[in-house]
Structure 1
């Protein structure tokens, strides 16, 4: 008894190995060759319409993971609440500042469509998100070392600002470097970065707490008091006091003020 069957079409193994989804391909390019992503943005084309979603997902993955670990220093529940908050801060600040980026670029001679300007901003934010994702193991070690009473909370808060700042600087550095290689102006981007940083800090202040002051009841949000910049100054002073062996903040009144005006 004989059977016959049609031969299956031959599919090279290399094509299977080199055919990841668009999302994974974009993430890999952001890590290894962000200039290629920006070249794709500059060239335009049909695929440009799908790029903002991919870049936004890269950013959300990193901000969400880091936000969860930030809140997790207090409790798993705080981590689940902090993750969407940090995602909102990253993408929400970008949405608020995007019109300014497009206007600045136009004033300085950048010839980009609105979609291309969005993609370039998301390249920086996506790189920031992937950097935060890579820093997550480092954050776990750092938080485990410093998160001990009575001063651990202040070290965790200052450390979170440093980690977020480093990731943001890498995102901007990658974008600036790629634009310079293309011979394009970056002045509008530097001005916009300062604006984005201020908006991001204030938005983080609005949706706080991310961890919650030790001893205070758990709250989804806190009432607005002062500003993010005042709280950052108090946070820095509290860390300097603890390094000198003094109680955090120079007086009990300031300590109570910081607990009510929690920055993160």
Structure 2
């Protein structure tokens, strides 16, 4: 446990095995461990919206598994295109460094989510609206994603100095990752768990367009606020 906490501190400070220019092999195992541990922790908290009754316990386990699964599957879907685009742009030799930057982003997102988990629990205790809970968790993911850009830019700064084209590649990664991530979150739902609905790992109507649904939720909340 002490080694794990020390690794977290080194990661946040960008020192030791997580310093820019340090060997990649020394940090990747920790970065993926952060995704699994902190992502699962936030997922468990995320799944407590419907309460802790015996019949709802599986929702905590499912949500705890789904958050790291969401991040790793989204990462896996985006990685091949990211590799090809970097190769076409003549940046193949720099790809290992670019890879560790985007992996570090996944770890930072998980870590920030874990830090935001108490706020999510507090919101659950003070609000019983399911749609508001979904939007809150979307906000938490957005905050974590924006915070992770600090870590990404830490690792990408030497690459951008080497070739400004890396800045374009980084923007392309962000756009593809967010687009795929939102759709994957829709496919893997439920994360929060609607009260009164039986607990399942996947919804029966898993496939659909996430963007249409999210737009409808926002419109519904704005309409109720205006009325």
Could you tell me which residue of structure 1 aligns to residue 33 of structure 2?
Answer: 57
8 Å CA contact retained: 1:101, 1:117 = no
Note the alpha carbon deviations across 1:171-225, whole angstroms, 9 max, x for none: 1232124423662532201111110111111111111111233333322211234
C-alpha distance in 2, partners of 1:107/1:26? Answer: 35
Aligned length in residues: 216
Which residue is equivalent to 2:212?
230
* Aligned counterparts of 1:168 and 1:207: Cα–Cα separation in 2: 19
Task: Give the drift of 1:160.
Answer: 0.4
2:142 to 146, 157, 165: 165
Aligned pairs for 1:149-188 within 5 A: 152-180=129-157, 183-184=161-162, 185-188=166-169
Report the aligned-residue RMSD.
2.4
Q: Which has the higher contact order (CA 8 A, sep 6+)?
A: 2
* Distance of 1:68 and 1:113 partners within structure 2: 37
| TM-score, scaled relative to structure 2 | 0.84
* TM-aligned CA distance change 1:180 to 1:119, over 3 Å: closer
Q: 2:91 aligns with which of 110, 114, 120?
A: 110
Gaps (5+ residues) in structure 1?
A: 1-19, 246-264
Q: More helix by proportion, 1 or 2?
A: 2
**Residues 64 and 83 in structure 1, CA contact (< 8 A), matched pair in contact too:** yes
Q: Provide the C-alpha distance between the structure 1 equivalents of 2:167 and 2:140, rounded to a whole number of angstroms.
A: 24
What's the TM-score, normalizing by structure 1? 0.73
Of 122, 127, 132, which aligns to 1:141? 122
Pairwise CA distance, 1:154: 1.1
CA contact (8 A) 1:68 1:82 kept: yes
Q: Is the 8 A contact 1:34 1:174 kept in 2?
A: no
CA–CA separation in structure 2 for the residues paired with 1:83 and 1:28: 23
CA distance in 2 between counterparts of 1:103 and 1:35 reads 31
In the alignment, what sits opposite 2:45?
69
Moved more, 107-116 or 63-72: 107-116
Distance 1:181 1:142 in 2: 40
Q: Distance in 2 between matches of 1:30 and 1:241?
A: 43
Distance 1:31 1:177 in 2: 11
Deviations 1:61-119 (A, max 9, x none): 22111111111111342122111011100111111211222233334443546544432
Gaps of 5+ in 2: none
Counterpart Cα distance in 2 of 1:109 and 1:30? 30
